[in-house]
Amino acid sequence: MESPRLERALISVSDKHGIAAFAQALHRAGVVLYSTGGTARCLQDAGVDVREVSAYTGFPEMMDGRLKTLHPKIFGGLLARRDRDDDLAALAAHGIVPFELVVVNLYPFEATIQQPGVTDAEAIEQIDIGGPSLVRAAAKNHAWVAIATQPAHYAAILEEFQRDGRLSPALRRQLAADAFAHTAAYDRAIAAYFAGGGQAADFPAALPLTLQRIATLRYGENPHQRAALYYNPRSTGTRLATARQLQGKELSYNNLMDLDAAWALVRSLPQAAAVVIKHTNPCGAASAPQLAAAVERAFAGDPVSAFGSVLGFNRVVDAATAEFLATPGLFVEAIVAPGFDPAAVDILTTRPKWKHNVRLMELDATSTPPDTIHFRHVDGGLLAQETDAGPDDPQTWTVVTTCAPSDAQWAELKFAWAVVRHVKSNAIVLCRDQMLCGAGAGQMSRVDSVEIAIGKAAERAAGCVLASDAFFPFPDSIDRAAEAGVVAVIQPGGSRNDSEVIAACNARSLPMVFTGRRHFKH
């Protein structure tokens, strides 16, 4: 059956981004536009001729706008099947006109409940009734009616419409699929709000999780695995999933994993800071007064592992930093930063051998707090936990040895503690002069992690401080660290053998600090 010509459109949107230009294009092509309330005023202000729904139905808007489109003359025009004589007869008998396009997006319920101090009454007022009904009616009858629920749909609709005045069955079906996903996500958000007793629940009895696919990736962790990137529309502010890619090849699954690890660590470091990530673990990290010095020292932490790495910066990348990265022999896969100076972009995209391939990812701010809930997939389900992103308070830390750290050692211990929480458990880091000198990550034995960190630091271990993400069960790691020249230790404490570990430190005049909080990262 042939698709109907697009002759009439019903427009009622809360998100008015792009709607004026879209409506103007439809109007110029002879489409008759019907609209309601604020949308009608917006279009009229843009010089678009629209017909008020209330004038068409003969029924005024009422109850402060709660009742606008819920009328047989609207829903009859959406639900009528053009291949049914009885449906067409009903339209004619009651003076109902059919619509071929509905443009509707819903009241901003989720944005409202995320505002500080929002009341129940304010949240409830943003529960849309007519909007979802319009969307579902049009989507149900998508054989004859197209439904646009987001500004991103406008371009595809215009492209097909301007070709021959019709919209293809394939496009109408895809729009219908998007529409049902849109209303499903909306209802789940409302259900989660009520399940939380009036606030968005962190761990509701039923988890409302609706994600939008924004990219199909080349492959997953390995070439034989398919992969995609999904965005959580409930996340606010600047996020890695929607960061702006300034240049470079398409991002891979592994790139995104490493970029996420880089951003999580670098945003927590003091001064200008740079981190070097391989397989989601830092092999280099440093803070310095200038970013160029920080990245040079970060690379010096483990130059061999840094080859083919992903970098993170907490300051705008400047020309001096880019000059270092253009040094022959360095190879970088991707970089995430709050911004890039034009001179830095020019250097990075014209000078190194990898110039055409490096991905430059720009996040507009470092101040957006991380998502509060972290999800991990397990076979047949999801694990959910609070994100381990809150700051540690050094005022709560305790010196448990007879010898206390010096002021300089305190600064190093704080830096090391900021780094170790981002290393996979069992995690050990050795740091000196605000620089990661060696890391032991992901080992089954904490002793092995200590050995790896010392091996990476080599002669630089002498004078380093050591941070452990969880307690030492035995003093053997303390003995080995002292032999390597470690000058101070920071760890959570909490082992039943703490007294033995403290005694081992006291015997070597090695200051040790307990934080009272561990940072496992599996």
The DSSP bridge partners found for residue 9 are 33, 101
**267: helix, coil or strand?**
coil
**513: helix, coil or strand?**
strand
Catalytic residue among 73, 140, 249, 355: 140
428-431 and 465-468 beta bridge pairing: antiparallel
Q: What does the DSSP 8-state code read for residue 112? A: H
Q: Is 456 a catalytic residue?
A: no
Catalytic residue among 16, 73, 249, 279: 279
Query: Based on the number of CB atoms within 10 Å of its own CB, is 409 exposed (0-12), middle (13-18) or buried (19 or more)?
Result: middle
Q: Specify the DSSP element, H or E, that contains 95.
A: none
Contact 446, 428 (CB under 8 A): yes
Using CA atoms, how far residue 211 sits from 76, 134, 178, 188, 228, in Å, is 32, 22, 12, 12, 11
Q: Is 279 a catalytic residue?
A: yes
Say how many C-beta atoms besides its own lie within 10 A of residue 263's C-beta. 26
Using CA atoms, how far residue 470 sits from 1, 53, 417, 426, in Å, is 67, 65, 11, 8
The DSSP bridge partners found for residue 373 are 386
Query: Based on the number of CB atoms within 10 Å of its own CB, is 223 exposed (0-12), middle (13-18) or buried (19 or more)?
Result: exposed
Query: Based on the number of CB atoms within 10 Å of its own CB, is 8 exposed (0-12), middle (13-18) or buried (19 or more)?
Result: middle
Q: Which residues are catalytic?
A: 140, 279
